[in-house]
């Protein structure tokens, strides 16, 4: 069921504390941790504690929680002292989503070209 933890979800396991992660911020509704395969000097993932398969599902079901992710992106950027940064939501396997639990990538610390590729 949407919003409920999934036994086979890596990010649900991180939220539950069953899988280690380098956590940089936590709130009542979100967890932010360093990506294990960083694509920039700063690469932090922000996830909701509730399980939704992607950003669109989250925004439809809980727009306030989607807004929490974006607020946390700014908080991470502030803590990492990023003057500019990119926030990315991959939606679907064809777009590079490999864990089907909503997550925002916060990337910064280097020039980011456009289009991203």
Question: Which residue in 51, 101, 103, 105 is the catalytic one?
Answer: 103
pLDDT single digits (tens) 8-55? 999 999 999 999 999 999 999 999 999 999 999 999 999 999 999 999
Q: How large is the average pLDDT for residues 63-76?
A: 97
Closest CA to 29 of 2, 66, 82: 66
pLDDT tier, 115 (very low <50, low <70, confident <90, very high otherwise): confident
User: What is the Cα–Cα distance from 10 to 12, expressed in whole angstroms?
Assistant: 6
Q: Is 103 a catalytic residue?
A: yes
pLDDT at 117: 64
How many C-beta atoms surround the C-beta of residue 8 within 10 A?
A: 7
């Amino acid at each position: 069921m949407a919003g409920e933890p999934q036994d086979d979800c890596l990010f649900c396991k991180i939220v539950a504390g069953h899988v280690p992660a380098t956590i940089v911020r936590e709130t009542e509704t979100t967890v932010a941790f360093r990506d294990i395969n960083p694509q920039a000097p700063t690469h932090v993932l922000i996830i909701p504690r509730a399980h939704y398969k992607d950003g669109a599902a989250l925004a439809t079901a809980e727009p306030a929680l989607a807004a929490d992710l974006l607020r946390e992106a700014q908080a991470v950027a502030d803590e990492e002292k990023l003057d500019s940064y990119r926030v990315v939501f991959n939606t679907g396997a064809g777009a590079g989503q490999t864990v089907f639990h909503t997550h925002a990538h916060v990337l910064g610390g280097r020039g980011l070209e456009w289009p991203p590729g």
